[in-house]
Structure 1
Amino acid sequence: MRRVPWPLLPVCAALLLVTSCGWGGGADGDEGRAPGPPTGVTAQAGSATSVHVMWNAVPDTPGVRAYQVYRGTTKVEEVPGSQHMVDVTRLRPSTVYAFTVRARDSAGRLGPPSRAVRARTPALAAADRSAPTRPSHPAGRVLGGREVQLSWGASRDDRGVVSYDVYQGDAKIHTVGGDQTATVVTGLRPGTGYVFTVRARDAAENVSPASAPVPVTTPGTDDGRGTAPVGFAATTHHTGGAYYIDLSWDPPRVDGVVTEYRILLDGAAATSLVWGGTPPHGRAGYSFYVGRTAGQEHRVRLRARLPDGTWGGWSAQRTVTTGG
């Protein structure tokens, strides 16, 4: 999910029109051609030791498998092609860093770097244990079925606010600089209710209490089919005297990375699956225990927690029988 700070929206919209010309050879169209350079790259210090880097998806290039983020000439992060932002951590305070982003396709071809963007980490205040005050008077305005504008009053801090983190529910979905008190959140779902809060952060990673919640509902309708896992399959296996259900699926095609799923077994919540780091590329799989009795029939389905912090649509339901 791409979220663009409000003041940068016109610039990023213009940058989306930029395309690559001839990178990677391939005189016969896009086949055999490496991806172009990502556009709309921004970098914003999140604390004295971290920088939040964002970019636009490479347009008109199928098969982008991953994005690589470079600090100078050093690759520091690689994220799935569905993810367009990352926090680069373990940086030095009071230091200027230059970041570029490169796209890699499913054939392993690496595109050219984006333009370099710079960010300066603030000084680390010694023994700073005082958190900023909570952002005041938050408000939301619907701009369309897939985007809203958020605004809030500035927080106070004895050493200065470095950044604001935007949450949807309990999921952090965006970060903007400490000098900004508004942003546009995009990549939302039509006909969906959201509750946003904002927290301020200082250079020592002290975080304010959450602002008052901002409920908004995007117009339109969404039946959930576009956000459901696809190709969902379920089988069983027997080992060590116990039966297990084996699930496999393709993640929903959404703008961002999915790290959490909720599994429904026989109409009740069975378990949640959470990847602590980057989830596997491509098809996912998971097995869980269902008992020791053969001939038991079970109905199972799952759904994903989306990058916008909401739950997507349920997958198709599958029925399996232990020992069958």
Structure 2
Amino acid sequence: MRRVLLCGWVLALSCGCAAGGGDEGRAPGAPTGVTARAGSATSVHVMWNAVPADPPVGAYEVYRGATKVGEVPGSAHMLDVVRLAPSTAHVFTVRARDGDGRLGPPSREVRATTPAAGPADTSAPTRPDTVTGRAAGSRAVQLSWSASSDDREVVSYDVYQGGTRIHSVGGGQTATVVTGLRPGTRYSFTVRARDAADNLSSAGAAVRVTTPPGGDAGRDTAPGDLRVTTHRAPDGAYYLDLSWMAPRVDGVVTEYGIQLDGAAATSLAWGGTPPHGRATYSFYAGREKGATHRVRLRARLPDGSWGAYSAERTVTTGADG
């Protein structure tokens, strides 16, 4: 596997080689999709994507500057950093540690500024109502709820699975897709609203969803509106030009796998901050005019699993001029 950085993408070219033992004993890679958002005047919520590793990641360490401020098990991908100074800019990184104790490199830095401490606020937001949920494939659930109100501002919504908080989304968001679930399993979710003073609402009514059996990742996890055209370079080679919308899942999608004519062609890892909205990518398709290709792609979800494939598109080199 050869990796090349091109215009913000890290391109991994599939060579068809058998996997060897060269990665044995290697530390996990750097976490991607790291985000940080102030949850109150004294706290910041940090989230990141799961790091695929062998042996599996045993824990994640969160740093503020050079200081380690928290650690969570490898099954968790979020941490509330508390007891911070108000009106202060903070810089965070995350590192993965495998089960053998090897510590991987730090993620890219993310920044969050805590707001100023306001007057004493002891009033919690109203609870989220009309919470609904549906299975989005065998490993994902789509949740939505009505907005809460607060005497100042709702800054986030916390999603609980049973009694465990598993996600947090911004106060302007009233829907999310929870991934990393098990097929054929019954789940119970609740949602609570949080204000800038860390006051939590009571939980909305529990919504129970059973994921179907099987390995269907669910169309909600697939990239949307895939478009494929071709162009001819000055040297006579043809390229396939792809554009698509990232799946609307909880977290940041930083990696995609492209399938060409039914076989894996390339794996694309975003080298910086992924674009908001439509993403684009072009790759070499040969020199033959009139060659017809079938193209589709899928995203690596924040929980480390692969989502569903997009709709397949067919394109012919030279058809676009």
TM superposition score normalised by structure 2: 0.56
SS in 2 for 1:78: strand
Name the counterpart of 1:202. 195
| Mapped contact 1:123–1:203 kept (Cα < 8 A) | no
Instruction: Determine whether 1:157 maps to 2:150.
Output: yes
How far apart are 1:213 and its partner, in Å?
2.3
How far apart are 1:92 and its partner, in Å?
1.9
Name the counterpart of 2:59. 66
The runs of 4+ residues in structure 1 deviating greater than 6 Å are: 15-19
| Structure 1 unaligned residues grouped into runs of 5+ | 1-14, 20-26, 223-324
SS in 2 for 1:70: strand
Q: 1:135 to 1:173 in 2, by over 3 A?
A: same
CA deviation vs aligned residue, 1:69-106 (integer Å, no higher than 9, x gap):
11122111123333322221111223222211112234
- d(CA) in 2 for partners of 1:189, 1:35: 24
- d(CA) in 1 for partners of 2:146, 2:206: 13
Instruction: Determine whether 1:78 maps to 2:86.
Output: no
> Match of 2:148, as an amino acid?
S
How far apart are 1:209 and its partner, in Å?
2.1
- d(CA) in 2 for partners of 1:83, 1:195: 18
Q: 1:173 to 1:103 in 2, by over 3 A?
A: closer
Instruction: Determine whether 1:54 maps to 2:47.
Output: yes
> Match of 1:133, as an amino acid?
T
| Mapped contact 1:64–1:103 kept (Cα < 8 A) | yes
| Structure 2 unaligned residues grouped into runs of 5+ | 1-7, 13-19, 216-321
How far apart are 1:143 and its partner, in Å?
0.5
> Match of 1:72, as an amino acid?
G
- d(CA) in 2 for partners of 1:206, 1:18: 45
Q: 1:99 to 1:191 in 2, by over 3 A?
A: same
TM superposition score normalised by structure 1: 0.56
Equivalent position to 2:23, from 15, 23, 30: 30
Equivalent position to 2:134, from 141, 157, 165: 141
Name the counterpart of 1:87. 80
CA deviation vs aligned residue, 1:105-164 (integer Å, no higher than 9, x gap):
345432211111222323332221111111132221210111111111211111101111
What root-mean-square deviation, in Å, do the aligned CA atoms of Structure 1 and Structure 2 show?
Answer: 2.7
SS in 2 for 1:53: strand
- d(CA) in 2 for partners of 1:107, 1:99: 24
Name the counterpart of 2:318. none
Name the counterpart of 1:166. 159
Name the counterpart of 1:218. 211
Instruction: Determine whether 1:185 maps to 2:178.
Output: yes
How far apart are 1:200 and its partner, in Å?
0.6
Equivalent position to 2:103, from 99, 110, 131: 110
Instruction: Determine whether 1:123 maps to 2:88.
Output: no
| Mapped contact 2:155–2:195 kept (Cα < 8 A) | yes
CA deviation vs aligned residue, 1:22-55 (integer Å, no higher than 9, x gap):
xxxxx97112433221112122323222222222
- d(CA) in 1 for partners of 2:122, 2:172: 21
Q: 1:46 to 1:129 in 2, by over 3 A?
A: same
Q: 1:16 to 1:47 in 2, by over 3 A?
A: farther
How far apart are 1:193 and its partner, in Å?
2.0
Equivalent position to 1:96, from 69, 89, 93: 89
Identity over aligned pairs, percent: 71
- d(CA) in 2 for partners of 1:106, 1:16: 30
| Mapped contact 1:45–1:177 kept (Cα < 8 A) | no
Q: 1:63 to 1:134 in 2, by over 3 A?
A: closer
| Mapped contact 2:28–2:53 kept (Cα < 8 A) | no
> Match of 1:178, as an amino acid?
G
- d(CA) in 2 for partners of 1:65, 1:170: 22
| Mapped contact 2:55–2:99 kept (Cα < 8 A) | no
- d(CA) in 2 for partners of 1:28, 1:102: 24
Matches within 5 A, 1:268-287: none
- d(CA) in 2 for partners of 1:147, 1:94: 37
How far apart are 1:16 and its partner, in Å?
12
> Match of 1:103, as an amino acid?
A
| Mapped contact 2:31–2:107 kept (Cα < 8 A) | yes
> Match of 1:70, as an amino acid?
Y
- d(CA) in 2 for partners of 1:64, 1:49: 29
